[in-house]
Amino acid sequence: MSDFAPVTGQTLGIQRPSIGLDLDTQVMLEEVARLDGTTVPAALARAVEERFIRRLNDVSNEEYAALRADPKAWRELQDERAE
């Protein structure tokens, strides 16, 4: 028996990609969908989008901190903004 539960489906006749999830993740995803009153694919899409946005913000903050830590680069940015 596999530890993965495939997530598959069809919408408007288009085959959705199948992904492997471990059983614990599948159960949590189903519970999130139930609590949100939505479908498993919609709950997964929302979770991925939220994670993507958080990660994008993290990377942006890391890059901004690196820029601030470089006095020359920071001054160049300030000068460019002042123009």
Query: Is the pLDDT reported for residue 35 higher than 60?
Result: yes
Question: pLDDT band at residue 71, thresholds of 50, 70 and 90?
Answer: very high
Query: Is the pLDDT reported for residue 10 higher than 90?
Result: no
40 vs 11, residue with greater confidence: 40
| CB contact at 8 A, 32 and 43 | yes
Query: Is the pLDDT reported for residue 2 higher than 60?
Result: no
**Percentage above 90 pLDDT, the chain:** 73
| CB contact at 8 A, 5 and 23 | yes
Query: What span, in angstroms and rounded, lies between the C-alpha atoms of 14 and 78?
Result: 50
Domains of the chain: total: 1
How far is residue 61 CA from its own chain's centroid?
16
- Indicate left, alpha or beta for 36 from its phi (over 0: left) and psi (-120 to 50: alpha): alpha
The model's pTM is 0.67
- For residue 31, what are the domain limits? 4-82
Task: Give strand pairing partners of 10.
Answer: 15
Query: What span, in angstroms and rounded, lies between the C-alpha atoms of 69 and 33?
Result: 43
